[in-house]
Structure 1
Amino acid sequence: MTDSNHPLSRVRLTNPVHLLALGFGTGLIRKAPGTWGSAAGAIAGVIFLHFLTPNSFLILTALSFVLGCYICQKTAEDMGVHDHGSIVWDEFVGMWLCLLAVPTLSWYWVAAAFAVFRFFDILKPFPIKIFDRKLESGFGIMIDDILAAVYAMIVLRLIAGVVM
């Protein structure tokens, strides 16, 4: 990473915008940064949900989406690459939405939310892939993960309806 042309050489974890966009550093893990960002998002979400009501957590998640549009765009501009793999704030917010769909915060429901979210985030079924390819703003970086979270939430609610 000594090459000044490398996108990661243009970001600093001491910059609060970069710190958030890179998921407190989890986006810098070389193998599967989106998976690590999702895992960190799940842990943070569980912690928040222990202290907040579901409605307060939903408001926090919505505000984090709006903030994410800015921080992801700014970090992408600083890196010179749209939606670089190390930008994982969108995974945090997507996981937080998924956690709102689980009936309990037991380890198996959190693991199910994580697995189903990662499945849709990686697969990007219609129309997620279109949004991912066409939108090049911070909103574009965020929205594909939000849509993946919506798909995951539907699956989680269906599973919860069967098992509960």
Structure 2
Amino acid sequence: MNQKSPIDILATALATLGPIGHFPKAPGTWGSLASIIAAPWLFLPLQLGERIAVLIAILAVGTWACSRAEAVFKKKDPGCVIIDELFGQWLTLLFFAAMPLWQLALAFVLFRVFDIFKPWPVKWAENAFPGGLGVMIDDGVAGLYALGCLHLISSFI
């Protein structure tokens, strides 16, 4: 029996956002939903500079955790690894402060669409960078697409 080290336990807990990544169906969608639900309390109240710092920290920790999780689960980008959804979903919200519910819902939908369908360069980014960085960066690119679309749609409504 393979025993995980404390560092591997920490890395996989971070990478899976605790139990959320272990939900039986659509863990990425659950991770995005949890991120959207948490954002009004943990992300949106912050100043822009603080949000950028949070995103940099999530990218750094997520890259490390995803790399460790890939080794522990012996699989490239395992489905249960969803810290990348937190990064991409919060990147979608970067330039917004308080948001009405419809805007949060739209941010969720837009990010999921770009994350699932992976238009260029989302898919390219996933494969262009090694290990955990590739896992994180593709969701970052999907988040940038969603951020642009959310900004455009919100400016017309």
Q: CA deviation at 1:100?
A: 1.8
Greater than 3 Å deviation, 4+ residue runs: 9-12, 101-104, 133-136
Deviates more, 1:130-139 or 1:104-113: 130-139
| 1:82 and 2:70 matched | no
- Equivalent residue number for residue 148 of structure 1: 142
Q: Unpaired runs of 5+ in structure 2?
A: none
Partner deviation per Cα, 1:35-77 (whole Å, 9 max, x = no partner): 0011111122221135522321221111111111101101111
Partner deviation per Cα, 1:70-117 (whole Å, 9 max, x = no partner): 011011111100100100000011111112244632211111100000
Matches within 5 A, 1:3-152: 15-49=9-43, 51-102=45-96, 104-152=98-146
Identity of aligned residues (%): 33
Judge conservation of contact 1:102–1:156 (CA < 8 Å) in 2. no
TM-score (norm 1): 0.86
| Cα RMSD (Å) | 2.3
Work out the CA distance in 2 between the residues paired with 1:48 and 1:30: 26
Work out the CA distance in 1 between the residues paired with 2:44 and 2:124: 36
TM-score (norm 2): 0.89
Judge conservation of contact 2:44–2:97 (CA < 8 Å) in 1. no
Q: Unpaired runs of 5+ in structure 1?
A: none
Work out the CA distance in 1 between the residues paired with 2:105 and 2:5: 31
